[in-house]
Amino acid sequence: MSVLDTRCVNQLYLTLSNILSISESDLRQYVIDKKFELLDIAWSEIDIDEFFKTVKSNVNRLKGNIIESVTISHLSSRLEYECNKENIYNLYSALTGETKLRKYLSDVGIECIHESDVISVFFHGERIDWKQYEQTPVVLMLQKRLGVTSSGDKCINGFLFSGDIHKNMNVTHIARIPEFLENLLRILKVHEAIYFWERNAQPYEIIFKEKFSGIIYDGDDSLSLEDKNIKTIKHCISFLGRNLFNEWNQNDNPIIRLKDDNDVLADQIISSRNLKTNRIIFK
């Protein structure tokens, strides 16, 4: 199986060269020869035709399955000190299944029920009528995530490359507490539950393997599989080039989404690292 392993530079060189059917040394030489150019241009400006010609790859990059699976780095704030190898759930599964998040909400009087593609919220037995709340950005976001005003936003998110993903400006707050959890508790004025989570939770980077056909680039969900191949290869080349100068910035790390209904099963998970202590829990 052609796995694109993005956990570290060496694994990326190894697996990308295997996918492209070229020698690892040729790939490394290309990055060295182009290092200044790669530093000065955006990933999207990389000439993919010139790259394939230079490294002498005969792989048909338009073939849909040249990359069969890829590693994704997921940021998770969890109360337990040890982040065990267990399923990662999409929002709807997390709110309504037998999960730790559902129990945490239940302990403060919040229950969520899946009704006709909408998650209905009950607080101390009373159904929440979102129309009774001022339509602030947070309330609007909650309604969107719950499927009240749209088809829902429940997918699992992550990043293409591993590292200090909690330093990406889009997700720094998630290292403290899951965004949905904080928003829901704040609107319902259950502030102590927010403070308890923030005081006791630990941030983790969880790396899992996902089918390449099942990932979606955030903000670019109309890509064909062939275009996704090219975009991914360009991102990898840019990542390798910038790492030669230690110029890789987590804010450049592509955000990856899974399909809405997908969960990540425990056997897909490769490793877990506590981002506060840098302690590897398992690998």
Distance CA 66, CA 60 (A): 8
Region of 240 (left: φ > 0; alpha: ψ -120 to 50; beta: rest) is alpha
Distance CA 4, CA 226 (A): 15
Listed by start position, the domains of the chain span 3-69+206-282
Write the DSSP symbol of residue 113: E
Q: Along the 283 residues of the chain, how does pLDDT read in single tens digits?
A: 589 999 999 999 999 999 999 999 999 999 999 999 999 999 999 999 999 999 998 887 666 678 999 999 999 999 876 677 889 999 999 999 999 999 999 999 999 999 988 999 999 999 999 999 999 999 999 999 999 987 768 899 999 999 989 989 989 889 999 999 999 999 999 999 999 999 999 999 999 999 999 999 998 888 888 899 999 999 999 999 999 999 999 999 999 999 988 999 999 999 999 988 887 776 6
Nearest residue to 208 via CA among 273, 271, 280: 271
- In the three-class reduction of DSSP (H, G, I as helix; E, B as strand; rest coil), residue 76 is classed as strand
Distance CA 276, CA 263 (A): 26
Write the DSSP symbol of residue 254: P
Distance CA 228, CA 61 (A): 10
End-to-end alpha-carbon separation of the chain, Å? 20
Amino acid identity of 255?
Answer: I
Q: Look up the pTM and report it.
A: 0.92
Could you report the per-residue pLDDT of 40-69, keeping only the tens digit for each?
A: 999 999 999 999 999 998 887 666 678 999
Nearest residue to 169 via CA among 227, 251, 246, 234: 251
Nearest residue to 259 via CA among 208, 207, 216, 210: 216
Q: What whole-number percentage of the chain has pLDDT above 70?
A: 96
Nearest residue to 147 via CA among 259, 260, 258, 257: 260
